[in-house]
Amino acid sequence: MRKTVEVSRNMAVTEQAVEIVERKGTGHPDYICDAVMERISVELSREYIKRFGAVLHHNIDKGLLVAGQVEKGFGGGKVLRPMELIVGDRASFGTGRAGVPVGDIVKRTVRSWVAENLPHVDPEAHLKVRVVLQPGSEELAGIFGRRGRVRVANDTSAAAGYAPLTPTERAVLATERFINSDAFKLRFPEAGSDVKVMGVRTGSELGLTVACPLMAGLIKSEAAYFRKKREMHSAISDFLSGFPFSGVTLNLNSLDVRGRGTGGVYLTLLGTSAEDADSGQVGRGNRVNGVISLNHPMGTEAAAGKNPVSHVGKIYSILSHLMASDIHRRVIGVKEVSVWLLSEIGRPIDEPKQVFVQVIPENEAGKGHFEKGVGKIIDEFLSRIPSFTEELAAGEHPVC
């Protein structure tokens, strides 16, 4: 394993002229795919451990939420064709000793997640679930039969993480969480759950574009729509006033046009655009720290649904962010830090081929100042890989 620490004199993201950050919320089709596939992985891991004492091979990281079709207008509507969730890739169906009812676990898990998170979607009537999982290849499945303290990596892959979150990232993340909070929904039951926030900081000013559909059944007219939208805009603006920007501009449902009736407003029947407008896919949503940040390094792996004990696409994606956060918190003089982890298929996951840490310092401190502290934290995290993978299997670390 090679560990490399670099001190960079580049500008931190907070000092750059422009910063762009996106967040897809609970009801967004891409978020739904990520969250559901991750829940399936956790439930399968729990079943494997119960039956066999260990997590068996699976990767539930290929999924497609196919948009349905609805008829809606002021005051309500009806579902014409349900949404369909296709759950794919690989899973172990058991061993010679015992089988695992993978299909039943998948369908039960999907419907449970939908019932918990999408209050206007009937998981039986509004969503079809198609399971197309197949057993994994003999070579990859064989990883789980090898002896050793930890599993070997089942892929050659790279991941990147960073710390800390910038004020822009925190504002974008918090805005979506605020709109999808119980308190906001109690005040504005008209707000759907398919919330998307795009933020752009220019200098010290923040501009946010927010998309949030309003529930057709609770909006009786165009006038009522724009009145409620104005009230929501005011509430979100008040919330944003607590962030450290010289000015904040908020655009809510920017496609709206007065005078066009239902053709000029953003209505939803079920709370998600997957009802008729937008399909979803695993890996197109938020990174594991909850945002899509275009100014920071990002990996291309879809962490959601991957097995938690050998797939570095999940393990290293989350680990790199945790490492970066610890380095920023514990090593004196770190303004911003990025961590890259590279695996090689067949190597133990606690022995990355390359760990690369890039530090942007607060002062003129050199490489020698950072190497010892950074190296110690890297070693600590890698030594805890066995317990960390157990935490992943239990769903203790969010992926979206």
**How do residues 279-332 score in pLDDT, each as one tens digit?**
999 999 999 999 999 999 998 899 999 999 999 999 999 999 999 999 999 999
Report the pLDDT value the prediction gives residue 1, as an integer from 0 to 100: 84
Q: Does the structure show a pLDDT above 70 at 143?
A: no
Report the pLDDT value the prediction gives residue 150, as an integer from 0 to 100: 80
- One-letter amino acid at 390 equals E
CA–CA gap between residue 32 and residue 110 (Å, rounded):
10
CA–CA gap between residue 199 and residue 202 (Å, rounded):
10
Report the pLDDT value the prediction gives residue 271, as an integer from 0 to 100: 98
Report the pLDDT value the prediction gives residue 141, as an integer from 0 to 100: 56
CA–CA gap between residue 69 and residue 47 (Å, rounded):
35
pTM of the entire predicted model: 0.95
Q: Greatest CA separation found in the chain?
A: 69
Report the pLDDT value the prediction gives residue 137, as an integer from 0 to 100: 62
**184: how many CB neighbours lie within 10 A of its CB?**
19
CA–CA gap between residue 94 and residue 97 (Å, rounded):
8
CA–CA gap between residue 111 and residue 210 (Å, rounded):
28
CA–CA gap between residue 47 and residue 26 (Å, rounded):
26
Q: 394 — phi, psi (to 5°)?
A: -90, 0
Query: What kind of fold does domain 13-25+166-281 have according to CATH?
Result: GMP Synthetase; Chain A, domain 3 (3.30.300)
Report the pLDDT value the prediction gives residue 117, as an integer from 0 to 100: 98
Say what percent of the chain tops pLDDT 90.
90
Summarize the confidence of residues 172-199 as an average pLDDT. 98
Task: Give the residue ranges of DSSP H helices in the chain.
Answer: 29-52, 102-117, 138-141, 167-179, 182-187, 222-240, 312-330, 367-383, 385-393
Q: Does the structure show a pLDDT above 80 at 395?
A: yes
Mean pLDDT is lowest, of 24-38, 61-75, 191-205, 365-379, for 365-379
Q: How would residue 100 be classed by pLDDT, with cut points 50, 70 and 90?
A: very high
Q: 337 — phi, psi (to 5°)?
A: -140, 140
Q: Decide: 299 and 286 in contact? Cβ < 8 Å.
A: no
DSSP conformational letter for 38: H
Q: Does the structure show a pLDDT above 70 at 17?
A: yes
Summarize the confidence of residues 328-340 as an average pLDDT. 97
Say what percent of the chain tops pLDDT 70.
96
**How do residues 131-141 score in pLDDT, each as one tens digit?**
999 987 655 55
Q: How would residue 365 be classed by pLDDT, with cut points 50, 70 and 90?
A: confident
Sign of CA dihedral 318, 344, 284, 57: negative
**How do residues 210-255 score in pLDDT, each as one tens digit?**
999 999 999 999 999 999 999 999 999 999 999 999 999 999 999 9
Q: How many CA atoms lie less than 13 Å away from 56 in the CB half-sphere?
A: 23
Report the pLDDT value the prediction gives residue 2, as an integer from 0 to 100: 92
Q: Decide: 12 and 359 in contact? Cβ < 8 Å.
A: no
**Between residues 152 and 317, the one the model is more confident about:** 317
- One-letter amino acid at 48 equals Y
CA–CA gap between residue 301 and residue 398 (Å, rounded):
15
Q: How would residue 145 be classed by pLDDT, with cut points 50, 70 and 90?
A: low
pLDDT, the chain, mean: 95
Report the pLDDT value the prediction gives residue 190, as an integer from 0 to 100: 98
